[in-house]
Structure 1
């Protein structure tokens, strides 16, 4: 059985979502955040960088949520979370899947961090975020999700950052992304994962 090292309010929920979709149980080891909202020292005993999520599959430790999602999809012969390989949508999907952490996350965090600390979002950070949210809105197209009405790996990967943006009211001027987030929350795997481990984003004080 897969062991998942899961930090609270983290990208680990992505892994739980896919496992729920695949009908695969896991041994989940939970880690609470510190008062400073950091990962606890215990996670450094699992991964040298104190990262979460990390999975242990019969002694093989795998980090990075994108890698974990791809690994689990391949391990369990999943055919439902990527477009067919012989289609243009397949490579469009792979680009969006990698885009989330390679490009979008850094831009989003420049707005998320000050908002999380109760500070105004700098104008340049807001402008950068708006540009990326407009790009994602174009990628959604007719929606409701990136490739129709069923969550793909790219949707699962996108969900954590969108959850944080929604929590901090940073989607107010982006109704298409807000509708996308609402649609993500209706997905069975999301519902199962958050019922089990709690919400993706920390609740409002």
Structure 2
């Protein structure tokens, strides 16, 4: 199995310089770690999840709704399931298969080649949102919820949670979004073998 996560337990990253998106490997505690250390609880995520269960009990369970079921699950590099933990791409892969019947590639960089590109001001619930958190594009992925919020599995020592894309940390690192065909009227399935180069195709 290929381990494809958003962070490793032994890596620390810091900003490469003012006004840049590049990250450098350093020995001390990074800007990224400092930011994540201050965002441990997730009252907003818990609220959104509770509201969905109350207001939409019979609604179809889409990608975003399914991912919200796993709020609080611990982060685990290479994690693929709620009982063992998730990394960023593991959460998306699991939620997509459970909610939409999609078999997505394991790496976030490969997911970024699927579906259709979406402008930031046209984002819709269920779109995949990508960030540069490790010094290269599409190294982190989450699921857009609406109103600037997204759900994701952040890093070692944290848990699945909801965050605001407009916070400085994420705003600087945002680098695109994709909409899978299954988020529209027609469900779709991706071949795991060719998913890295193939767009999502309708059943």
TM-score range, shorter chain: under 0.3
TM-score by length of 1: 0.28
Identify, as 1 or 2, the structure richer in strand.
2
* Between structures 1 and 2, the one with greater helix share: 1
